[in-house]
Amino acid sequence: MTIYETIKAAISVKQAAEHYGLKAGRNGMACCPFHNDRHPSLKLNEEYFFCFGCGAKGDVIDFVARLFNLSSFEAAQKLAADFGLDPKPPTATALPKPKHPCIRQFREDEMLCFRALTDYLHLLEDWKVRYAPKTPDDALDDRFVEACQMLDYIEYLADILTVGDLEERVAMVDELMKEGKIAFLGDYVARKRKEGVSRGEER
């Protein structure tokens, strides 16, 4: 096991972020230190981080390397020192048991679902403001109507993946992955954003 594997097996991204001063809410969201973030847009999980604002992402070593402007090796050494870990490879008896492949696949599917849902959520939030009628007599834009109809439901799904228990999250991910539902949603959001850009409607 390399120093990188030792660090990632022992320290979660959220642990490292909180150790270095970031405050995360119960849902694992924090203000991103990598851009001027007024509202929490950085998602901190056990194995990875992802910012919905600036797109920064990676594992615990990537996080510390970016935070302190270090190389990956320097970041791993810093983590080992700050968390009192021996950077030397552990003995065979100390090696963590490999994760069940089903767990790994679930984590990947869960991350895919969370990204697609939050991308759609941000799109709906933008539509609800951007296309709101200016006067009571204005015709309702289809995007405004969609935002009003879907926002609460998509927030509910995202909340389950954020703060739900394991059983709820597994059931949710299974349902979203059926028949390519989440892939369709991702394609839909990308298409709508591209249409907005082509019309000059991007922020």
pLDDT digits (tens, 9 = 90+) for 106-163: 888 899 999 999 999 999 999 999 999 999 889 999 999 999 999 999 999 988 888 8
Contact between 154 and 180 under an 8 Å Cβ cutoff? The reply is no
Q: What would the CATH number be for the domain defined by 3-94? A: 3.90.580.10
Residue-level pLDDT at 90: 47
Contact between 113 and 172 under an 8 Å Cβ cutoff? The reply is yes
User: What tokens appear for 146 in the block?
Assistant: 């969609």
Contact between 16 and 26 under an 8 Å Cβ cutoff? The reply is no
What is the three-class DSSP state of 46? Answer: coil
Adjacency order of strands within the sheet including 49-51: 29-30, 42-44, 49-51, 57-58
Domain positions in the chain:
3-94, 101-198
Residue ranges of E strands in the chain = 29-30, 42-44, 49-51, 57-58
pLDDT digits (tens, 9 = 90+) for 32-84: 999 888 888 999 988 899 999 899 999 999 999 999 999 988 998 899 888 88
